[in-house]
Amino acid sequence: MTFKLGLTGSIGMGKSTTAKMFADLGCAVWDADAAVHRMYSKGGAAVSPMQAVFPTAIQDGAVSRDALKEIIGTDPSALTQVEKIVHPLVAADRDNFIANSQSEITVLDIPLLFENGSEQKFDAVVCVSVSPELQRKRVMDRGTMTEAQFESILAKQMPINDKIAKSDYVIETDTMDHALAQVKVVIEDIKQRLADA
């Protein structure tokens, strides 16, 4: 039986980096975004159901995220249809990963964990956090989106203070060393909890 630790946070708060730290310290790590990426690629589980609903989103046997963005841009109701296809596939992938995990602690990296109400599926939740200034700087420094796109993503995400209030652990990712020290504390605490159980 593995301990299921949900990992969440808002955009630009260092979730992927923190997930890698957990992995480096021996935890099994499942990534929701990576799962979707696999399902959208050639031969992926989402390709055929997507093709049935959005044939124009399929390019070279894979789901094109750009084409999908365009479809959703023209018809916002398309997003609900996409979610109806993808969410059950992602949930099945996650459950399969947990069932096969040989690790004492399995970390599940889910950006919208609280937004989609899945927190009760985990033994504990850890939230990564940084100041709004550092968050904005990190996202803008990536050079992958405009201020408006960043604001639009933020608007769809639950405010970070609400996520923190709902979490069992909080990791401040202001520096790599500070984040790593906190990851180690979380792992130690969980191992203690398992030993006491």
Q: What is the 3-state secondary structure (H, E, C) of 86-134?
A: HHHHHHHHHHHHHHHCCCCEEEEECCCCCCCCCHHHCCEEEEEECCHHH
Q: What percent of the chain has pLDDT over 70?
A: 100
What residues contact residue 96 under an 8 Å CB cut-off, 6+ apart? none
pLDDT of residue 34: 93
Model confidence over 149-188: pLDDT tens digits? Answer: 899 888 888 999 999 999 999 999 999 999 999 999 999 9
Domains of the chain: 1-27+105-197 (3.40.50.300), 33-102 (no CATH)
Distances (CA, A) of 46 to 41, 82, 87, 147: 8, 10, 10, 31
pTM of the model: 0.89
Residues β-bridged to residue 45: none
Model confidence over 41-85: pLDDT tens digits? Answer: 999 999 999 999 999 999 999 999 999 989 998 998 999 999 999
